Each structure stands twice: as C-alpha cells, then as structure tokens.
Amino acid sequence: GEDVEQSLFLSVREGDSSVINCTYTDSSSTYLYWYKQEPGAGLQLLTYIFSNMDMKQDQRLTVLLNKKDKHLSLRIADTQTGDSAIYFCAESNFGNEKLTFGTGTRLTIIP
Amino acid sequence: GAVVSQHPSWVICKSGTSVKIECRSLDFQATTMFWYRQFPKQSLMLMATSNEGSKATYEQGVEKDKFLINHASLTLSTLTVTSAHPEDSSFYICSATVGSRQRTEAFFGQGTRLTVV
C-alpha cells in the first residue's frame, strides 16, 4: 500500500526558515497536501500541490515537489512561535477521496 | 473554507460503557466522511470511510462491531465506541470531503479526546 514518511522532529530558531520534508511511495499520487495540527486540535489544510507542478508559493509557504524522487518539502519563511505545531504531509489519487498521511513532523521554535 | 464540527471535544467514560461522537458538516453536504484515530505523538490512522446511506468501509484491523459508524444524513456521521476499555482512550478525528473527484479537499473536525477510566 501507500507509504508516506516524514522525520519526527525539527527545531528552528525564530526568524529562520523551516524546511519540512516528506517522501512517498505511490507513483500515482495526484495531489499532495500539507496540514498543520496545533495541540489538541484537528487538522488545518495549509496548502496543496498538483503532481504536475514542481513548486507552489503561498505567502510564507513554499512547496517543492520532486516527482522523480517522490519527495515533497514545505518551507516556512521567517518562522514564528505561532508556527509551532505538527505538520503532516498527505497524498491522494485521482478520483479517490481517501488521504494517506505521513507520520507528522513536530516543529519547535527556539526563541 | 468549509466547517466540520465534532462533538464532544472531550469525554471521560467508565470502562464498559459506550460513547457516541458526532461529526457534522455545517455549511456543506458531505457524501463521504472519514474517521481517524490518533495515538500520542503518532500519525492519523484511518479507521473507516463513512458513506451516506450505506455501510461504512472499515480498514483492516478495525473492529466494526466495536466502532459503530452511522452516516444517516449528508451532514452527520456518528462513531460509537461500544463497551469502551482503557486501550480505546485516544484522540478521534473526523473529516469530510468536498469538491470534485479530481481533487480531494478534506476538512477536519477539531477532534474528540476520549479517556476511558
């Protein structure tokens, strides 16, 4: 079945850029997503990218997709304390509403 | 974006009792809702896919008699944890999808923290 992997932890100084990485195995993935989960809360969709794109930028967020290597990254510029959360990447296939989530990366901001 | 409301946000129950968790799409109709379970410091594990008017599809290893899912309307799905035990204590999250078949857009409830004592 599909497999989505992320590193578990990332610590970044306030004001620096954070880069969260994700790898996936399903070559038929159509859309890839980044979700944010704050403590004790549900998931909030941050951004997504279609598989025929290699980059998408949305304010402080930049998503890079290397389809050949099945590697997805999320860059958060000028990281703030409010960015502390767990970040999940997820993938879906065309015509399938089911999402497969990565293991989540806990982002900690160092003052 | 669309809003999904989950209720209750937290619940404590005694071992052996049943607990019902509701998931509502407030401003859209959701033909498909998903129920996830999240263990501490772990990812979301899909438990089942709930389709309005039909039986839920459970993932491998999830006991359908223990986790009863009902999706009676296009805006409401319920998960009932029957005869709860301490090992059922977890964070349960629902999501509802909207949009075309081309792209899944999933909106998540705020989650329900279940503690069985």
Tens digit of pLDDT for each residue in A23-46? Answer: 999 888 888 999 999 988 888 989
Q: Do B34 and A98 touch (CB under 8 A)?
A: yes
Percent of chain A with pLDDT over 90: 67
- Report the pLDDT averaged over residues A75-85: 96
pLDDT the model gives residue A95: 58
Bridge-partner residues for B92, per DSSP?
A: B37, B112
- Both structure tokens of A51: 């598989």
**CB count, 10 Å around CB of A63?**
22
Instruction: Identify the pLDDT of residue B1.
Output: 64
The contacts found for B4-7 with CB under 8 angstroms, 24 or more apart, are B4/A42, B4/B30, B4/B94, B4/B95, B4/B96, B4/B107, B4/B108, B4/B109, B5/B109, B5/B110, B6/A42, B6/B93, B6/B94, B6/B109, B6/B110, B6/B111, B6/B112, B7/B112
CB contact under 8 A, A104 and B102: no
Positive or negative torsion for Cα B22, B29, A95, A24: negative
- The highest-confidence range among A94-103, B36-45, B60-69, by mean pLDDT, is B60-69
A104 — contact with chain B (CB < 8 Å)? yes
pLDDT (0 to 100) of residue B54: 83
Provide the pLDDT confidence category of residue A12 given band limits of 50, 70 and 90.
very high
Question: What is the predicted pLDDT for the residue at B40?
Answer: 77
pLDDT digits over B6-28, tens only?
999 999 999 999 999 999 999 88
Q: Does A84 touch chain B (CB under 8 A)?
A: no
Instruction: Judge whether residue A8 has pLDDT over 80.
Output: yes
Q: What average pLDDT is seen over chain A?
A: 91
Q: How far is A70 from chain B (nearest CA, A)?
A: 19
Of B104, B109, B111, nearest to A97 by CB-CB distance is: B104
Residues of B in contact with A32 (CB under 8 A): none
Chain A residues near residue B97 by CB distance under 8 angstroms = 97
A103 CA: distance to closest CA in chain B (Å): 5
Q: Is residue A94 over pLDDT 70? A: no
Mean pLDDT across the stretch A58-71?
Answer: 95
Q: Enumerate the residues of chain A whose CB falls inside 8 A of the CB of residue B77.
A: none
